[in-house]
Amino acid sequence: MAKRHRHLQRRPKSTNALNKAPGTVAYVGRKESAEIKVEVIDYNKVNYERFIFDNVEATFKFENEEKITWINVDGLSNTAEIEKLGKYYKLHPLIIEDIVNTNQRPKIDEYQDYLFIVAKMLYHKENGILEHEHISIVIGKDHVLTFQEADGDVFNAVRERLTNSKGRLRNSGPDYLVFALLDAIIDNYFVVIEEISDKIETLEEQLFTAQPNDDITFEIQELKRTVLRIRRAVFPLREVISRLEKIDSTLIQEKTLNYIRDLYDHIIQVSENIEIYREMTWGLMDMYMTTISNKMNEVMKVLTIMASIFIPLTFMAGIYGMNFEYMPELQWKYSYYVLWGFMILVFIGMILYFKRKKWL
């Protein structure tokens, strides 16, 4: 039990962070590392280049109108570098704050020259742990900036498709790239909620097979917590995509709208599934109560049957264990056998009684 860790989204307790002025750029996540990894993918219909840098200045030269530049920053704890990048791309201070504030809920903000989207990436790391990662996306005229907490994400498929010159991705604008990224994020939600479904099934089976024990209670409670956390990551994104569809911005081309509508369909589907798993998870505790009660019922039946059969028989034996001088039965030759006969009759009677009650 000591290894349980559950951290709901929290802003830090330290006086320091709480007293900071709004717009102050302070990383609040748990993935501290001074290192920053900047990946730049610069592409258009005909060209494709990919670079990895360890500082943001290197990315400044990629600004050109003929190519789309996707700058992906891994590592948010080196806030100085992120501020530098932000300044170069003229991002509002509050955006910089939101990029590093890993507690920021999914949202979309419109600014003059760019759109700003916050989402949560959910995926299983190799060790099976559910990763809950903060991701920010800035869509500009000819560039897309993405910021993540750590190395490792769900975008490999997008990167692969970018290397392939024939796909729709290479022929479209930054809006389509953002669509592809969001699509990758949402596709992974399906995998994650699948795990929830598996966990529910496993628990259901445990309820029936395992002896009642508090670990199951605790696992159900943990599962509730996980479902609620996933829900909080997913539900606000629904509104984000809904607004993205209706946004009146030159950054989103009309032909991309169909794809965003498709995205909206998917996120709704994820939400519906989450709600179903939520209902199922909440039902588990009730199921558990009935299985415990059933098991207790069985225990009580064994006790009742044993006691009901042998207590009267013991009483009979007790009667003839008495030491009264005048007990006529004691002298009679067949008493012992008659008593045995009677006891067997009582025994059979009880067995039949319990059989009729269907307790046996």
Q: Which of residues 174-193 bind a second copy (CB under 8 A)?
A: 179-180, 183, 187-188, 190-191
Length in residues, the chain: 360
CA nearest neighbour of 198 among 273, 307, 143, 253: 273
Residues pairing with 116 in the sheet: 109, 138
CB of 171 to a second copy, least distance (A): 12
Q: Which of 84, 206, 243, 312 binds a second copy (CB under 8 A)?
A: 312
When the beta carbons of 80 and 289 are compared against a second copy, the nearer one is 289
Instruction: Pick out residues in 197-256 that bind a second copy (CB under 8 A).
Output: 197, 201, 204-205, 207-208, 211-214, 217-218, 220-221, 224-225, 228-229, 232
User: Treating both helix axes as pointing N-terminal to C-terminal, what angle do 254-319 and 174-209 enclose, rounded to 10 degrees?
Assistant: 10
- What does the block give as tokens for 52? 């990895």
CB neighbour list of residue 356: distance below 8 Å, 6 or more residues apart: none
- Distance, in Å, from the CA atom of 89 to the CA atom of 140, rounded to the nearest integer, reads 9
Nearer to a second copy (CB atom), residue 78 or residue 291 = 291
Which amino acid is it at 71? I
Find the binder of a second copy among 320, 342, 344, 348 (CB under 8 A). 320
Name every residue whose Cβ is closer than 8 Å to that of residue 298 and which is 6 or more positions away in sequence: none
Q: How far is the CB of 143 from a second copy (least distance, A)?
A: 21
Q: Per CB under 8 A, which of residues 253..292 are in contact with a second copy?
A: 258-259, 261-262, 265, 268-269, 272-273, 276-277, 279-280, 283, 285-292
Structure tokens given for 2: 């000591």
Round to whole Å and give the CA distance between 65 and 321.
Answer: 109
Binds a second copy (CB under 8 A): choice among 64, 80, 151, 302: 302
List the interface residues with a second copy, window 38-57 (CB under 8 A): none
In the bound state with a second copy, the residue whose beta carbon lies nearer, of 76 and 274, is 274
Q: How far apart are CA 308 and CA 312, in angstroms?
A: 7
Q: x/- binding map, residues 115-154, to a second copy, per CB under 8 A? A: ----------------------------------------
